[in-house]
């Protein structure tokens, strides 16, 4: 008897309607931070915003006046905005995933939610139960602190649940309100963060089956010696993104070996992978992995397209890339590698197969 594998049944995504082009952001930043930033910092910010790798980003505000208010946002208002938008975008993404899968909300038997850009107690999951009318007795898991790689630990947990109960339908939600961590000064990491990060949510439905995008192999790797290269820190009691200029070098030395090791679980090499869903952490990071693994531009077209249209949304971003691939249609038996990396330094991956 063949054991059914866990599969990704559907992915839904959601972003705020308010969109800012990089050119508009460049003009805005030059005007509103001309006193706070040095001439060198203003030039660095301008160069990053003008780079062709990102064209626009979605931000969790309703209008331009609200966007301007983020500059001097009261901490209490910031938490309230995070809560409002995290719940709204999570619900929209999950509703879209359910619609794609032809499922009703009452079919969900477990809920997993991750975020790293805000903290509320009780967590986002309980708000989704209320907002969407989910069963109030289902297991829920609110995961925090995994950074840009956080979507994949959700799926790892869902995989374990489905393998123990083939009737389970697990909803995995990743949501980040990166604008709820906005801070500005002459720190290079903050300048880059403010130029490339956006807001969004993605939801994946995991269940059992013989046909679909099956979860074939997974792995995680942690490199605490590089913790300071990419993480959130608290400054004056507020979350603040910390990025090291050497992060692409760290990624180059850690992610490609991780991918090769994960592929070796199935006796594969990078050349045998037809589709790639990489977390688009930034142009230099994508380039570092591409060079080490000898990937083509065709391999990375979906990764680069999501970065261009949405920027780096932290944890949901890799699911945006995978959804883009799934929407195009994958060949039968084609292998797909999904990898995300971030705070920690942590790396998470799944080898998928369209069966």
Tens digits of per-residue pLDDT, 2-51? 467 999 999 999 999 999 999 999 999 999 898 899 999 999 999 999 99
The model's pTM: 0.96
Residue 237: what pLDDT? 73
Quick check: 94 and 100 in contact, CB under 8 A?
no
Helix, strand or coil, per DSSP, at residue 328: helix
Average pLDDT over residues 118-129: 96
350: tokens are 């799944």
Quick check: 134 and 106 in contact, CB under 8 A?
yes
CATH number of 213-354: 3.40.47.10
Residue 3: what pLDDT? 62
d(CA 148, CA 132): 26
Helix, strand or coil, per DSSP, at residue 312: strand
Assign 344 a pLDDT band (cuts: 50, 70, 90): confident
Residue 117: what pLDDT? 95
Residue owning tokens 């630990």? 153
Instruction: Note whether 5-209 and 213-354 share their fold.
Output: yes
The ranges assigned to domains in the chain are 5-209, 213-354
Distance set, CA 287 to CA 112, 280, 291 (Å): 32, 10, 6
CATH 3.40.47.10 matches 5-209? yes
d(CA 228, CA 216): 32
What pLDDT, in 10s, does the model give residues 193-212? 999 999 999 999 999 987 78
d(CA 25, CA 34): 14
């Amino acid at each position: 008897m063949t054991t059914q594998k866990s599969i990704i049944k559907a992915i839904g995504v959601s972003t705020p309607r308010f969109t800012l082009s990089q050119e508009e952001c460049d003009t805005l930043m030059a005007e509103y931070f001309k006193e706070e930033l040095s001439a060198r910092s203003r030039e660095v910010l301008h160069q990053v915003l003008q780079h062709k790798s990102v064209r626009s980003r979605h931000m969790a505000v309703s209008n331009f006046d609200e966007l301007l208010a983020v500059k001097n946002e009261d901490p209490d208002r910031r938490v309230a905005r995070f809560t409002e938008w995290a719940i709204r975008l999570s619900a929209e993404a999950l509703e879209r995933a359910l619609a794609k899968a032809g499922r009703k909300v009452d079919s969900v038997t477990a809920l997993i939610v991750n975020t790293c850009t805000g903290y509320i107690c009780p967590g986002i999951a309980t708000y989704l139960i209320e907002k969407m009318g989910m069963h109030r007795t289902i297991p829920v898991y609110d995961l925090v602190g995994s950074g840009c790689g956080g979507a994949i630990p959700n799926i790892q947990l869902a995989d374990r649940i489905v393998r123990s109960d083939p009737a389970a339908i697990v909803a995995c939600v990743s949501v980040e309100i990166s604008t709820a961590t906005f801070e500005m000064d002459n720190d290079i990491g903050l300048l880059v963060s403010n130029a490339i990060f956006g807001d969004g949510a993605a939801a994946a439905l995991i269940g059992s089956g013989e046909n679909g995008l099956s979860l074939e192999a997974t792995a995680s790797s942690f490199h605490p010696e590089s913790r300071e290269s990419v993480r959130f820190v608290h400054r004056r009691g507020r979350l603040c993104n910390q990025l090291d200029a050497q992060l692409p070098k760290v990624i180059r030395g850690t992610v490609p070996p991780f991918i090769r090791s994960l592929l070796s679980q199935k006796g594969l090499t990078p050349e045998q992978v037809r589709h790639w869903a990489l977390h688009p952490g930034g142009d230099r990071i994508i380039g570092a992995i591409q060079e080490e693994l000898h990937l083509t531009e065709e391999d990375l077209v979906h990764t680069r397209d999501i970065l261009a249209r949405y920027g780096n949304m932290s944890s949901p971003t890799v699911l945006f890339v995978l959804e883009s691939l799934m929407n195009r249609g994958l060949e039968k038996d084609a292998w797909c590698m999904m990898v995300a990396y971030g705070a920690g330094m942590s790396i998470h991956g799944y080898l998928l197969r369209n069966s």
